[in-house]
Copies of this chain bind each other. A is one copy, B any other.
Amino acid sequence: MHGTGVAARKIVRQRRPVSAMPQEMPSAKSRRINGERLWSRLMAMAKIGATAQGGCNRQALTNADWEGRALLSRWAQAAGCTVRVDSVGNLFVRRPGGEDTLPVVMTGSHLDTQPTGGKFDGVYGVLAGLEVIESLNDLGFTTSHPIEVAVWCNEEGCRFPQPIMGSAVWAGRTSLEAAYSLTDDAGKSVRQELERLGVSTGLPVLRKAVKAALEVHIEQGPVLEKLGKTIGIVTGVQHMSRHEVVVEGQETHAGPTPMDMRRDPIRLLAEVLPMFYAAAQKRAPDACLTVSVIETLPGSPNTVPGRLRFIVDLRHPMVAHYRSLRDEVDRLVEEALLRQGLNGSIRCVWEAKGVEFDADCIAAVRAATAALQYNAVDIVSGAGHDSVNVAAVAPTAMIFVPCAGGLSHNEAESALQSDLEAGVNVLLHAMLSLSSATADTSG
């Protein structure tokens, strides 16, 4: 245990049964999570779906994903919590509150990873929630509000092409049927995979009242590291969308067809790629444009492709710039199709509107950071998170910690144990203030 000597002094140790009685609050200095335990759990979880390069492949609704959730469930039950799974595969770990019918104070993230993902993206936020619960147990502390740690299903959206899927259904932003009907490249649907893994499907996804929700996450970008900050107080998430471009050419032998008699879809790519980068540059440094997937069909070395497909991901924190970037990319593709005389289209396949987080939740994070004397900076998230969905139905904020070189969605993703520990300490303090404020009022 980390800092036990200090922590033990002022705490009324009290494991089970949970009591609704007002409790003596340990001082800010004494309440700390157990960084060693957090780290060892991160490393244990990383063994499931471990890749040769030190990363993880636990894509949504695979056996590895489920194995990770089973491990978490064992830890949670050993910590005296209950575990339930809703019919879109979201898992909730619950620690009862002193007044257990009050709205929950929520935290959590996801356990699924990219195909070549790292050890921390999402996992950290889930195990941070578990660590808060175990630290509360260690400190013998009972919150008035129940605490829940959510493991949102299919956050990554790489196997089934809709990111932050489970939280979207939970928040009522995506229908259960729409999520069920998503399929992977092998043609398996979310519904089939949920059923294969033993989830009861079909029941409505119930959402309990949530008082506040916090998510702690590695930054997945280089800003905190560059600025030398330990904590990012996340004030919102940038606007983002994903666009699929499909161009139909004519599949012909690469040799005997003169170039002026071809319908070569790669001509479109040659024309729009430089324009895409120029469009992003016009909106530098905040705009992000990524061409992440490019596929040619049939993909045979001596055949002019009959079909080109690629994905463009667009992000900007300011709605006006985001919209003008989207419009420009749409226009560039449409004009190039016309100039090249090729059939094709660009369509938005996913959009997550930006969000401003809840002022009270941000204030709780800011106060906790200040009390713990961490170096902090306000930041807008460049990545989408389940918190975007949660924020649509509950007061929400996020906490970021640095990751090495800003790398994420990469097997080399790494973070310092001390930074990860700091992030969960902020989470603990912010959750205590959010879950105890009502306790004071109702007590």
Contacts and interface: CB of A to CB of B under 8 A. Distances in A.
Nearest to A277: B270
A242 to B, nearest CB: 6
Interface of A: 114-116, 121, 156-158, 161, 163, 219-223, 238, 240, 242, 250-261, 264, 266-267, 269-271, 273-274, 276-277, 280-281, 284-285, 287-306, 311, 313, 315, 350, 381-384, 406-411
Contacts of A301: 157-158, 161, 163, 242, 292-293, 311, 313, 350
A299 B303 contact: no
Contact of A291 (B158, B161, B266): B266
A276 to B, nearest CB: 7
A220 to B, nearest CB: 4
Given A270-B276, A315-B254, A259 B289 contact: yes
Contacts of A281: 259
A157 B384 CA distance: 43
Contacts of A295: 294-295, 299
Nearest to A273: B270
A240 B255 contact: yes
A260 B286 CA distance: 10
Contacts of A255: 220-221, 238, 240, 288, 313, 315, 381-384
28 contacts: A114-B298, A116-B251, A116-B297, A116-B298, A156-B300, A158-B302, A220-B257, A221-B257, A221-B258, A250-B410, A251-B409, A251-B410, A252-B408, A253-B383, A254-B383, A255-B288, A256-B382, A257-B406, A258-B285, A259-B280, A259-B284, A259-B289, A264-B290, A292-B305, A293-B296, A298-B409, A300-B409, A302-B409
Given A222-B261, A264-B290, A266-B294, 5 more contacts: A114-B300, A116-B298, A253-B408, A261-B406, A267-B277
B274 A259 contact: no
A242 B302 contact: yes
A304 B285 contact: no
B257 A382 contact: yes
